[in-house]
């Protein structure tokens, strides 16, 4: 039996037909958080299961967040919260952030000093 539980994760989602990854990321950020960002740049592109799948993740680093809507997709997201670098590092260490799509860019950002 699969038991679902809540996890902390970065905003994420698929790219719809006709969308670029950047357009999809902007849409997902707004849908899942109610925020937009002034500056966007590709931070990381990677294949999580190379050799098993051609699935590719493109991660964007954003700056200048502005809340434009207090509503977000409650079918996907229970709560929106931002974390500082020290708190995020502790959450990784305490296994409170556990999905690979979130862990990979968070850990890379810590290594690069972006957080």
What gap in Å lies between CA 98 and CA 52, rounded to an integer? 21
Domain count, the chain: 1
Beta-carbon contacts of residue 76 (< 8 Å; ≥ 6 apart)? 31, 32
In a domain, residue 36? The reply is yes
In-domain check, residue 47:
yes
Question: Is position 89 within any domain?
Answer: no
Give the whole-angstrom CA distance, residue 112 versus residue 56.
Answer: 22
In a domain, 5, yes or no: no
Q: What is the pLDDT of residues 46-89, one digit of tens each?
A: 999 989 999 999 999 999 999 999 888 888 888 999 999 999 99
Q: Which two tokens stand for residue 63?
A: 């700056």
Q: Is residue 26 part of a domain?
A: yes
Do the domain assignments include residue 70? yes
Please list the residues that pair with 67 across neighbouring strands. Answer: 35
pLDDT at 38 over 90: yes
In a domain, 66, yes or no: yes
The pLDDT of residue 2 is above 80: no
Q: 25 is written with which tokens?
A: 């990321």
Domain span at residue 75? 21-82
Q: For residue 35, give the 3-state DSSP assignment.
A: strand
């Amino acid at each position: 039996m699969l038991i679902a539980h809540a996890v902390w994760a970065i905003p994420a989602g698929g790219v719809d037909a006709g969308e670029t990854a950047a357009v999809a990321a902007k849409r997902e950020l707004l849908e899942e958080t109610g925020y937009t960002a002034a500056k966007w740049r590709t931070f990381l592109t990677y294949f999580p299961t190379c050799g098993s799948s051609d699935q590719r993740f493109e991660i964007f680093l954003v700056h200048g967040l502005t809340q434009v809507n207090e509503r977000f997709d409650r079918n996907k997201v229970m709560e929106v919260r931002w974390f500082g670098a020290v708190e995020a590092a502790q959450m990784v260490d305490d296994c409170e952030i556990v999905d690979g799509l979130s862990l990979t860019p968070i850990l890379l950002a810590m290594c690069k000093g972006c957080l």
